[in-house]
Chain A
Amino acid sequence: MRYLVTLRVVSQPGGPPPADLMEAIAKLGQEAAETGALLDQSGLAPSSEGARIEVSGGRLTVTDGPFAEAKEMISYALYEVRTKEEAVEWASRFLKLHRDLWPGWEGEAEVLRLFGPGDFAPPA
């Protein structure tokens, strides 16, 4: 089963992320790849470089970033695991690194299952 984990930052101290954190994140990513769980991942550039397309009241609008809301999405990861708990475990490890190595950082990860062939399988 595949899970998409998105990471949003709620608030973070000024300045760049600590080098320790970056190193630990790289190590965790490597570990997740080596155990075969991590399929894909990437950090995301600030929404000031992105855009939003909306449909509302029959009108399509394209708005350049930055997006107004407080929680900026900063990365995503795609895992192939057997249970939701396994994806939650990887996401928790990721957040614990932030908690332990970047005091004051606050954020959240969402763990969402991707549909797979099994979701479209005929009843047994």
Chain B
Amino acid sequence: MTVTDSHRVVEAVWRIESARIIAGLARMVHDIGLAEELAQDALLAALEEWPRKGVPDNPGAWLTLTAKHRAIDRLRRRDVYERKLQEVGREMELRQESAEAELDDALDDHVGDDLLRLIFTACHPALPPESRLALTLRLLGGLTTEEIARAFLLPEPTVGQRISRAKRTLADKKIPIELPPPADLPARLASVLEVVYLIFNEGYAATAGEDWIRPSLCEEAMRLGRVLAGLMPAEPEVHGLLALMELQASRIPARTAPDGTPILLLDQDRSRWDRLLVRRGLQALGRAEALGTLGPYGLQAAIAACHARAPRPQDTDWERMAALYRLLAHLTPSPVVELNRAVAVGMAYGPARGLEIADSLLEERALRGYAQLPAVRGDLLAKLGRLEEAAAEFGRAAALTRNERERRLFSDRAAALLRDLADRAGDWAIGH
């Protein structure tokens, strides 16, 4: 095995084990930054030792054990030892053997709780959102700072600063690494789910042909979603978010043409949708539904499921979708949700009803400059035969969007409508 080979094995094992190792160490040393440092030390030791001595039979256990020894070494060192002594008091006054036994416990048991504590701490509201993202990917995803920077199209030092500042904030504010008290759980869980969904959307927004690491953020987010679903099986929104991500991701193979042009949902070749993700997404949605009332993520998943369940676009249950958007608008009122509802209502009850809703949004501040508003209105107007107005709306949408391919899509649509308009005028001339 070459050095490169064994480095790749180390990376693979690191990716599988790092979150659990860091979580166990964090429980012991009460400091996420220090825990990560210790785990990194173990990783460096592996990178140094495995190429020479071969990959150990149980590489995960090797990393855990090495990290544990590093932790003990650190705790032995006076400065750290005394600092920790003050912080945790009696707990660390144990003799070294019992400290070691305790470390064993910390690393072997409570793995699930440790991971949850780590997740809730990394997504703590005391941290700015961008730091929560970076810290979560770093600590739970096992991504390097460089990978995170590439994924978010940011300079590496920026991400490095975010991570180190986040760790310092957690230490300075003495934020304990613990599960939120029951009263805070809904808000804190919302923060965790938001982080995961932001990671997903960053990947989902990436276009084909970009650096592979950006689209792979979707996989990363789904993986975190699956971890959460395993750790908090009784939370409907955890399953709801996982369902939403899996159903959306199921369309990735179908949503761009070979030349990279985006393909609208209703025009997609559904045979290219990822059946496994559809099935898993529907199962996760079923679990969310079985647990009680759907929250915002569950409702969005239920909406996505209306598409996933329809073998052909004309099979879509638009009435159900319109009703789900109504519930979603009730839970999380927003002009964007309303605009989506306009589309569903237009499909379910005719373009005039949809346009009514879309028109009511024209004065919305939040939608000013939002290309989708004229695009939706253009589509509804076209269906009503108001081609000239429709073409003007698509022209407006083309001018507003910042996405080059989308711009072309809108201008093409405007041009096609103007051609139809000219044809219609021609027919009129011939007929009369």
Contact = CB atoms under 8 A, between A and B. Distances in A.
Contact of B226 (A33, A120, A121): A33
Chain B interface SS verdict (over half):
helix
Contacts of B8: 83, 85
A123 B8 CA distance: 26
Interface residues of A, number: 27
Contacts of A35: 16, 19, 223, 227
Interface of B: 8-9, 11-13, 15-16, 19, 57-59, 112, 208-210, 212, 215-216, 219, 222-227, 230-231, 252-253, 256, 258-260, 276, 280
Given A34-B230, A80-B223, A83-B8, A89 B259 contact: no
A124 B209 contact: yes
A39 interface: yes
Closest 7 pairs between A and B when the two form their complex, measured CB to CB: A36-B223, A85-B12, A36-B226, A124-B209, A86-B12, A121-B208, A34-B230
B146 to A, nearest CB: 14
A122 B208 contact: yes
Contacts of B209: 121-124
Contacts of B253: 116-117, 120
Interface string A81-98: 111011011100000100
B57 A96 contact: yes
Interface string A29-65: 0000111110110000000000000000000000000
B230 A33 contact: yes
A13 interface: no
16 contacts: A33-B226, A33-B230, A34-B231, A35-B223, A36-B224, A36-B225, A37-B223, A82-B15, A86-B15, A96-B58, A117-B208, A118-B212, A120-B253, A121-B256, A123-B209, A124-B210
A7 interface: no
A1 B219 CA distance: 8
Contacts, number: 74
Nearest to A85: B12
Contacts of B252: 117
Contacts of A5: none
Given A120-B253, A122-B259, A36 B208 contact: no
A86 B219 CA distance: 14
Nearest to A87: B12
B280 to A, nearest CB: 7
Contacts of A80: 219, 222-223
Given A120-B258, A123-B209, A36 B12 contact: no
Contact of B16 (A37, A78, A117): A37
Interface centre among B9, B12, B210 (most CB of A within 10 A): B12
A100 to B, nearest CB: 9
A34 B12 contact: no
A104 B30 CA distance: 46
Contacts of B223: 35-37, 80
Contacts of B210: 124
Contacts of A121: 208-209, 256
B221 to A, nearest CB: 10
A86 B253 CA distance: 23
A85 B12 CA distance: 6
B13 A89 contact: yes
Nearest to A34: B230
Nearest to A33: B230
Contacts of B212: 118
A118 B225 CA distance: 22
Given A89-B9, A117-B208, A117-B215, A36 B15 contact: no
A107 B38 CA distance: 38
